[in-house]
Structure formats: structure tokens, C-alpha cells
Amino acid sequence: MNPESPRVVLITGASRGIGAATAKLAAQRGYAVCVNYRQNEAAARKVVDEIVAAGGRAVAVGADISIEAEVVRLFRTCDQALGRVSALVNNAGILETQMRVEQMDADRIRRVLATNVIGSFLCAREAVRRMSTKHGGAGGAIVNVSSGAAKVGSPGEYVDYAASKGAIDTFTIGLAKEVALDGIRVNAVRAGFIYTELHASGGEPNRVERVKELVPMKRGGYPEEVASAILWLLSDEASYTSGSFIDVAGGK
């Protein structure tokens, strides 16, 4: 990519947790940042304010990525405010209360798949339409945020969530091959147990403290540690890396 061209990254679910840490690091690396959120506008504004106070460029855009029309509006708003995206981080993801599969109803499974899988597809579609050299774009990079859950399946907690991340892994492999000649690289990070508010959604805010003994490093990870891997995959240093995965999981 031409180093003169402005770099614009759209990060879904960037109001909190891994997305917020990625937004701040991306701004430090010179990206203009589109900070997407679903409902927590105050948290998203705080991320934007921090970036702007440090001399960067950022906008907060509320949009539920599970809804197609909202994804289209999200990217159009980003086009107008910052310019065409050169990078996408498919980070927004949800899980619901821990339970066994035999207790799950279809609505819950649909919600998890709608945000984690369909949302990621829709955002990637909008990004490819803007980045692809076949559509007159300048190329770009996409990073999907997957999970170690894709490999272990999360029995007794949220097999639906784990399966959604398995889908993200396959999506990463397929899309990487599909757009390899469009100037677009597609990779994923598989995060381990990271200290964020996600675990409260499962009904266990202190889950990382319980499970950290399973990690070879015997500790949970921090959002900034995941953000570093994401920024490397987005960068030109990763120019020959596509369809790859970085496990950011303390050796697990």
C-alpha cells in the first residue's frame, strides 16, 4: 500500500475490551479509527476522546453489526467521516449465560451467530467492496478476532459461542484465499482468557481468575496484548501473511 495514503481502520465493538485497546494502539500507529459500538455510546466516546486528545483522528459510530442495513450505514458513515477503509478488525462478539446445549433455545443460538458470524461476514463484505483492487480499491487487511474456544468447544459453558468462532476460523481461511489477488490479506487472532467485561455476559465476571490455572503461563491476558498481535497482522510487516492465525493465549 502507498505509504502516503491515509490509513483508515474500522474496528467493530471498539467501545470496550479488546476492541478499545486495538483502537487506541491503531491510533498510536497512525490510523484514523472508526470506533463502532452497539449501545454503550459513552464508552465509545471516551475511546474517541482519548485518541483525539493524543492528536489522532477517530469517530464513534453506533451500529448493530448483526443487522445488514446498519452495517451498510456504518461503512458509509466511515467513508464520509474518515475516508475509505484500508483495514477492518472484525472484533465485536457476544456470548450468553453459561449452559449446556440441551438447555439452549433457538433465539439464543441465533443471536450469538447473528453477531459473531453474520456480522463478521457483512462487515468483511463492505470492506472488500472498498478495498479490492478489482473494484478500484487500494487493497487492505482484515483481522478477525477468534477464540481458543474454537479449538476446545467450551463444553458446559457456551458451545454455541465456540462454534461461532469455529465458523470464523473457516471464514478466515476461505476469504483469505478468495481475495488474495485483490490486494487484501485476511488473518485471525485466537484470543485466550482475556480480562474484559465479556465474561460477565456469561454470568461469571471473574471467570479468568478461575480458569487461569489451565494456562501454561498461569495468568489471564490483557486486551493490549491481543491488540499488539492484531496491529502486526494489519501492518505491512505481515505483507506475506494471509489465512493465518496467531494464538494469543499464554501458551494454551
Which part of the chain contacts ligand NAP (CB under 6 A), choosing from 121-129, 174-182, 191-199, 232-240?
191-199
Burial (CB count <10 Å: 0-12, 13-18, 19+), residue 200: exposed
**245, amino acid identity:** F
**Under the criterion CB under 6 A, does residue 145 sit at the interface with ligand NAP?**
yes
Distance of closest approach, residue 141 Cβ to ligand NAP, in angstroms: 18
Binding mask 219-248 for ligand NAP (x = CB under 6 A): ------------------------------
Minimum Å gap between C-beta 4 and ligand NAP is 32
The sheet carrying 245-248 orders its strands as 58-62, 32-37, 8-11, 87-90, 140-147, 184-191, 245-248
Interaction of residue 38 with ligand NAP, rule CB under 6 A: yes
Under rule CB under 6 A, residue 127 binds ligand NAP? no
Strands 87-90 and 32-37: unpaired
Task: Please enumerate in sequence order all residues whose Cβ is within 8 A of that of 117, keeping only pairs 6 or more positions apart, or say none.
Answer: 164, 167, 168, 171
Q: What is the CA radius of gyration of the chain?
A: 17
* Interacting span for ligand NAP (CB under 6 A) from 25-33, 76-84, 87-95, 177-185: 87-95
CB-CB contact of 65 with 123 (8 Å): yes
**The binder of ligand NAP chosen from 88, 94, 143, 215 (CB under 6 A):** 94
Alpha-carbon gap, residue 98 to 159, rounded angstroms:
9
What is the closest distance, in whole angstroms, from the C-beta atom of residue 177 to ligand NAP in the complex?
Answer: 22
Positions in the binding site for ligand NAP (CB under 6 A): 12-19, 36-40, 43, 64-66, 91-94, 115, 119, 145, 147, 191, 193-194, 196-198
